[in-house]
Amino acid sequence: MPSRVISDFAAEEERRVLSLKPVLAPVHGRYGDHPHQVYDAWPAGDPGAPLVVLLHGGYWRYDRMHLTPFAAYLSEQGFDVLLPGFRRSGGAGGYPETFDDVARIVDTLPQGRPYVLAGHCSGGHLALWCAARGLLPPDSPWYTRDLPTGVLALAPLTDLAATRRDDLSDGAAVQLLGGEEVFEERMASVDPLTLLRGAGTTGVPTVLLHGAVDEEVPLTQFSDYAAVHHDLETVVLPGTGHYTLIEPGAPGARSVADTLWDMAAAFGARRPARDADEERAGDGNDREAVRP
Protein backbone atom coordinates (compact mmCIF):
# COMPACT_ATOMS: atom_id res chain seq x y z
CA MET A 1 0.00 0.00 0.00
CA PRO A 2 1.43 3.47 -0.84
CA SER A 3 2.69 5.71 1.91
CA ARG A 4 0.23 8.26 3.28
CA VAL A 5 0.37 11.56 1.41
CA ILE A 6 -0.79 14.70 3.23
CA SER A 7 -0.88 18.37 2.33
CA ASP A 8 1.65 20.92 3.50
CA PHE A 9 -1.09 22.34 5.75
CA ALA A 10 -1.59 19.01 7.49
CA ALA A 11 2.13 18.30 7.75
CA GLU A 12 2.80 21.66 9.38
CA GLU A 13 -0.11 21.23 11.78
CA GLU A 14 1.14 17.80 12.84
CA ARG A 15 4.73 18.99 13.24
CA ARG A 16 3.72 22.10 15.21
CA VAL A 17 1.43 20.36 17.68
CA LEU A 18 3.42 17.17 18.26
CA SER A 19 6.62 19.15 18.83
CA LEU A 20 5.15 21.10 21.76
CA LYS A 21 7.16 20.72 24.95
CA PRO A 22 5.48 18.37 27.48
CA VAL A 23 4.02 20.04 30.56
CA LEU A 24 4.71 18.57 33.98
CA ALA A 25 1.51 17.96 35.93
CA PRO A 26 1.25 19.22 39.52
CA VAL A 27 -0.22 15.91 40.73
CA HIS A 28 0.62 12.32 39.85
CA GLY A 29 -1.08 9.13 40.97
CA ARG A 30 -1.50 5.41 40.30
CA TYR A 31 -4.54 3.23 39.69
CA GLY A 32 -2.64 -0.08 39.49
CA ASP A 33 0.72 -1.75 39.95
CA HIS A 34 1.95 -1.75 36.36
CA PRO A 35 4.28 1.15 35.42
CA HIS A 36 1.80 2.33 32.78
CA GLN A 37 -1.14 2.40 35.23
CA VAL A 38 -0.57 5.99 36.27
CA TYR A 39 -2.24 9.34 35.80
CA ASP A 40 -1.45 13.03 35.79
CA ALA A 41 -3.86 15.54 37.31
CA TRP A 42 -4.35 19.27 36.87
CA PRO A 43 -6.75 20.50 39.56
CA ALA A 44 -8.51 23.73 38.60
CA GLY A 45 -8.45 25.06 42.17
CA ASP A 46 -12.22 25.53 42.27
CA PRO A 47 -14.19 22.95 44.30
CA GLY A 48 -17.06 23.31 41.82
CA ALA A 49 -14.93 22.72 38.71
CA PRO A 50 -16.23 20.04 36.33
CA LEU A 51 -14.11 16.93 35.88
CA VAL A 52 -12.70 15.91 32.50
CA VAL A 53 -11.00 12.54 32.05
CA LEU A 54 -8.83 12.77 28.95
CA LEU A 55 -7.76 9.72 26.92
CA HIS A 56 -4.77 10.29 24.66
CA GLY A 57 -4.36 9.22 21.06
CA GLY A 58 -1.38 7.80 19.20
CA TYR A 59 -3.04 4.78 17.53
CA TRP A 60 -3.02 2.87 20.84
CA ARG A 61 0.82 2.75 20.70
CA TYR A 62 2.21 6.00 22.06
CA ASP A 63 2.25 7.53 25.51
CA ARG A 64 0.32 10.48 26.90
CA MET A 65 3.08 13.10 26.94
CA HIS A 66 2.01 14.81 23.70
CA LEU A 67 -1.35 15.59 25.33
CA THR A 68 0.05 17.20 28.50
CA PRO A 69 0.05 20.75 27.01
CA PHE A 70 -3.63 20.38 26.12
CA ALA A 71 -4.49 18.94 29.55
CA ALA A 72 -2.80 21.94 31.19
CA TYR A 73 -4.69 24.26 28.83
CA LEU A 74 -8.04 22.74 29.81
CA SER A 75 -7.15 23.24 33.46
CA GLU A 76 -6.55 26.92 32.71
CA GLN A 77 -10.06 27.02 31.22
CA GLY A 78 -11.51 25.95 34.57
CA PHE A 79 -11.63 22.15 34.43
CA ASP A 80 -10.26 19.53 36.77
CA VAL A 81 -8.33 17.31 34.35
CA LEU A 82 -7.16 13.72 34.70
CA LEU A 83 -4.82 12.36 32.01
CA PRO A 84 -4.23 8.63 32.55
CA GLY A 85 -1.74 6.33 30.98
CA PHE A 86 -2.58 2.74 30.07
CA ARG A 87 -0.90 -0.36 28.69
CA ARG A 88 -0.43 0.10 24.95
CA SER A 89 -0.04 -1.88 21.72
CA GLY A 90 3.43 -3.02 20.84
CA GLY A 91 4.39 -3.47 24.47
CA ALA A 92 2.47 -4.54 27.54
CA GLY A 93 -0.94 -3.70 26.07
CA GLY A 94 -3.25 -4.32 23.17
CA TYR A 95 -6.21 -6.67 23.53
CA PRO A 96 -7.28 -7.21 26.32
CA GLU A 97 -4.90 -5.19 28.53
CA THR A 98 -5.56 -1.77 26.98
CA PHE A 99 -9.30 -2.26 27.44
CA ASP A 100 -8.86 -3.65 30.96
CA ASP A 101 -6.95 -0.51 31.92
CA VAL A 102 -9.36 1.96 30.34
CA ALA A 103 -12.33 0.23 31.97
CA ARG A 104 -10.53 0.42 35.30
CA ILE A 105 -9.74 4.10 34.77
CA VAL A 106 -13.34 5.15 34.24
CA ASP A 107 -14.65 2.80 36.92
CA THR A 108 -12.36 4.14 39.65
CA LEU A 109 -10.69 7.50 38.98
CA PRO A 110 -13.79 9.76 38.87
CA GLN A 111 -14.61 8.56 42.43
CA GLY A 112 -18.33 9.01 41.96
CA ARG A 113 -18.17 12.51 40.47
CA PRO A 114 -20.01 13.37 37.26
CA TYR A 115 -17.52 13.81 34.45
CA VAL A 116 -17.01 14.16 30.74
CA LEU A 117 -14.84 11.46 29.20
CA ALA A 118 -12.93 13.01 26.28
CA GLY A 119 -10.53 11.35 23.89
CA HIS A 120 -8.58 12.31 20.78
CA CYS A 121 -8.10 10.00 17.78
CA SER A 122 -7.59 6.47 19.17
CA GLY A 123 -8.39 7.94 22.59
CA GLY A 124 -11.71 8.94 21.03
CA HIS A 125 -12.24 5.32 20.05
CA LEU A 126 -11.64 4.27 23.64
CA ALA A 127 -14.03 6.95 24.95
CA LEU A 128 -16.79 5.83 22.57
CA TRP A 129 -16.14 2.24 23.59
CA CYS A 130 -16.54 3.16 27.25
CA ALA A 131 -19.92 4.71 26.46
CA ALA A 132 -20.94 1.46 24.74
CA ARG A 133 -19.96 -0.93 27.54
CA GLY A 134 -23.60 -1.19 28.57
CA LEU A 135 -24.30 -2.80 25.18
CA LEU A 136 -21.88 -5.65 25.82
CA PRO A 137 -23.22 -9.06 26.87
CA PRO A 138 -23.72 -9.11 30.66
CA ASP A 139 -21.13 -11.88 30.99
CA SER A 140 -18.41 -9.71 29.41
CA PRO A 141 -15.70 -8.66 31.90
CA TRP A 142 -16.13 -5.10 30.56
CA TYR A 143 -19.91 -4.90 30.88
CA THR A 144 -21.18 -2.20 33.22
CA ARG A 145 -24.21 -0.02 33.74
CA ASP A 146 -22.10 2.69 35.40
CA LEU A 147 -21.31 4.73 32.29
CA PRO A 148 -19.64 8.14 31.80
CA THR A 149 -21.82 11.20 32.41
CA GLY A 150 -20.95 12.41 28.91
CA VAL A 151 -18.49 11.61 26.12
CA LEU A 152 -16.67 14.03 23.82
CA ALA A 153 -14.91 12.22 20.97
CA LEU A 154 -12.32 14.41 19.20
CA ALA A 155 -11.57 13.27 15.63
CA PRO A 156 -12.08 9.68 16.80
CA LEU A 157 -11.43 6.37 15.19
CA THR A 158 -14.92 4.86 15.30
CA ASP A 159 -14.65 1.83 13.03
CA LEU A 160 -11.91 -0.74 13.53
CA ALA A 161 -12.79 -2.62 10.35
CA ALA A 162 -12.33 0.55 8.29
CA THR A 163 -9.15 1.35 10.20
CA ARG A 164 -7.80 -2.05 9.15
CA ARG A 165 -9.10 -1.69 5.59
CA ASP A 166 -7.41 1.70 5.15
CA ASP A 167 -4.25 0.47 6.91
CA LEU A 168 -4.19 3.54 9.10
CA SER A 169 -0.86 3.98 10.89
CA ASP A 170 0.64 0.82 9.37
CA GLY A 171 -1.75 -1.80 10.68
CA ALA A 172 -2.51 -0.19 14.05
CA ALA A 173 -5.96 -1.78 14.42
CA VAL A 174 -4.68 -5.28 13.65
CA GLN A 175 -1.83 -4.80 16.11
CA LEU A 176 -4.28 -3.61 18.79
CA LEU A 177 -6.41 -6.74 18.49
CA GLY A 178 -3.51 -9.16 18.29
CA GLY A 179 -3.44 -10.24 14.64
CA GLU A 180 -5.58 -11.02 11.62
CA GLU A 181 -6.60 -14.47 12.84
CA VAL A 182 -8.43 -13.08 15.89
CA PHE A 183 -9.42 -9.67 14.52
CA GLU A 184 -13.07 -10.35 13.64
CA GLU A 185 -13.83 -12.22 16.85
CA ARG A 186 -12.28 -9.60 19.12
CA MET A 187 -13.61 -6.62 17.18
CA ALA A 188 -17.18 -7.54 18.15
CA SER A 189 -16.56 -6.49 21.76
CA VAL A 190 -14.36 -3.40 21.31
CA ASP A 191 -15.57 -1.65 18.15
CA PRO A 192 -17.95 1.29 18.78
CA LEU A 193 -19.66 1.02 15.39
CA THR A 194 -20.28 -2.72 15.78
CA LEU A 195 -21.68 -2.33 19.30
CA LEU A 196 -24.10 0.40 18.20
CA ARG A 197 -25.63 -1.54 15.32
CA GLY A 198 -29.11 -2.57 16.41
CA ALA A 199 -29.08 -0.46 19.57
CA GLY A 200 -28.77 2.93 17.87
CA THR A 201 -27.64 4.67 21.06
CA THR A 202 -25.44 4.12 24.08
CA GLY A 203 -27.70 6.18 26.32
CA VAL A 204 -24.75 8.45 27.12
CA PRO A 205 -24.88 12.07 25.90
CA THR A 206 -22.21 12.03 23.21
CA VAL A 207 -20.66 14.70 21.00
CA LEU A 208 -18.37 13.94 18.05
CA LEU A 209 -16.23 16.96 17.20
CA HIS A 210 -13.89 17.01 14.22
CA GLY A 211 -12.22 19.28 11.72
CA ALA A 212 -13.63 19.49 8.22
CA VAL A 213 -10.15 19.13 6.68
CA ASP A 214 -8.84 16.30 8.87
CA GLU A 215 -6.32 14.34 6.78
CA GLU A 216 -5.31 11.88 9.51
CA VAL A 217 -8.63 10.11 10.05
CA PRO A 218 -10.85 9.61 6.98
CA LEU A 219 -14.04 11.65 7.26
CA THR A 220 -16.08 8.53 6.55
CA GLN A 221 -15.19 7.32 10.06
CA PHE A 222 -17.23 10.23 11.42
CA SER A 223 -20.14 10.08 8.97
CA ASP A 224 -20.55 6.30 9.20
CA TYR A 225 -20.63 6.44 13.00
CA ALA A 226 -23.13 9.32 12.97
CA ALA A 227 -25.40 7.30 10.69
CA VAL A 228 -25.59 4.54 13.32
CA HIS A 229 -25.69 6.61 16.54
CA HIS A 230 -29.16 8.13 16.35
CA ASP A 231 -28.90 10.70 19.17
CA LEU A 232 -25.31 11.75 18.56
CA GLU A 233 -24.45 15.44 18.28
CA THR A 234 -21.82 16.22 15.67
CA VAL A 235 -19.80 19.44 15.63
CA VAL A 236 -17.76 20.20 12.51
CA LEU A 237 -15.09 22.90 12.56
CA PRO A 238 -14.52 24.44 9.11
CA GLY A 239 -10.91 24.83 8.00
CA THR A 240 -9.66 22.72 10.91
CA GLY A 241 -7.42 19.67 10.73
CA HIS A 242 -6.73 16.78 13.06
CA TYR A 243 -4.22 18.17 15.52
CA THR A 244 -5.28 21.75 16.24
CA LEU A 245 -8.13 20.34 18.31
CA ILE A 246 -5.46 19.67 20.96
CA GLU A 247 -3.26 22.74 20.33
CA PRO A 248 -3.51 25.06 23.35
CA GLY A 249 -5.07 28.39 22.44
CA ALA A 250 -5.88 27.45 18.84
CA PRO A 251 -9.44 28.09 17.63
CA GLY A 252 -10.07 24.34 17.51
CA ALA A 253 -8.99 23.88 21.11
CA ARG A 254 -11.18 26.79 22.21
CA SER A 255 -14.11 25.08 20.52
CA VAL A 256 -13.28 21.91 22.45
CA ALA A 257 -13.30 23.86 25.74
CA ASP A 258 -16.60 25.52 24.81
CA THR A 259 -18.15 22.14 24.03
CA LEU A 260 -16.91 20.70 27.33
CA TRP A 261 -18.55 23.58 29.20
CA ASP A 262 -21.80 22.99 27.32
CA MET A 263 -21.70 19.33 28.27
CA ALA A 264 -20.75 20.01 31.89
CA ALA A 265 -23.72 22.37 32.24
CA ALA A 266 -25.96 19.31 31.92
CA PHE A 267 -24.75 18.14 35.34
CA GLY A 268 -24.84 21.55 36.99
CA ALA A 269 -21.40 23.02 36.28
CA ARG A 270 -21.36 26.78 35.73
CA ARG A 271 -18.77 28.41 33.54
CA PRO A 272 -16.97 31.45 34.99
CA ALA A 273 -17.84 34.68 33.21
CA ARG A 274 -15.38 35.65 30.47
CA ASP A 275 -14.28 39.20 29.87
CA ALA A 276 -14.73 40.94 26.52
CA ASP A 277 -11.22 40.11 25.29
CA GLU A 278 -11.77 36.41 25.97
CA GLU A 279 -15.14 36.50 24.21
CA ARG A 280 -13.55 38.03 21.12
CA ALA A 281 -10.72 35.46 21.19
CA GLY A 282 -13.27 32.68 21.33
CA ASP A 283 -14.99 33.86 18.17
CA GLY A 284 -12.18 32.86 15.81
CA ASN A 285 -13.67 29.56 14.65
CA ASP A 286 -17.29 29.02 13.67
CA ARG A 287 -18.83 25.71 14.61
CA GLU A 288 -21.25 23.81 12.44
CA ALA A 289 -23.37 21.75 14.78
CA VAL A 290 -25.44 18.87 13.44
CA ARG A 291 -27.95 17.66 16.00
CA PRO A 292 -30.40 14.79 15.82
For 207-233, what is each residue's pLDDT tens digit?
999 999 999 999 999 999 999 999 999
Q: Across residues 178-184, what is the average pLDDT?
A: 98
pLDDT over threshold 60, residue 143: yes
pLDDT over threshold 60, residue 283: no
Q: Distance between CA 39 and CA 246 in Å, rounded?
A: 18
Q: Distance between CA 251 and CA 91 in Å, rounded?
A: 35
Q: Distance between CA 157 and CA 218 in Å, rounded?
A: 9
Q: Across residues 114-131, what is the average pLDDT?
A: 98
pLDDT band at 114 (very low <50, low <70, confident <90, very high): very high
Cα dist from 135 to 191, 193, 209, whole Å? 11, 11, 23
Predicted pLDDT of residue 287: 62
Q: Between 68-76 and 251-265, two packed helices, what is the crossing angle to 10 degrees?
A: 60
Q: Distance between CA 273 and CA 161 in Å, rounded?
A: 44
How does pLDDT run across 101-111, given as a tens digit for each residue?
A: 999 999 999 99
pLDDT band at 286 (very low <50, low <70, confident <90, very high): low
* pLDDT > 70: percent of the chain: 92
Instruction: Output DSSP code: residue 289.
Output: E
Contact 241, 275 (CB under 8 A): no
pTM: 0.94
CATH 3.40.50.1820 fits 8-290, yes or no: yes
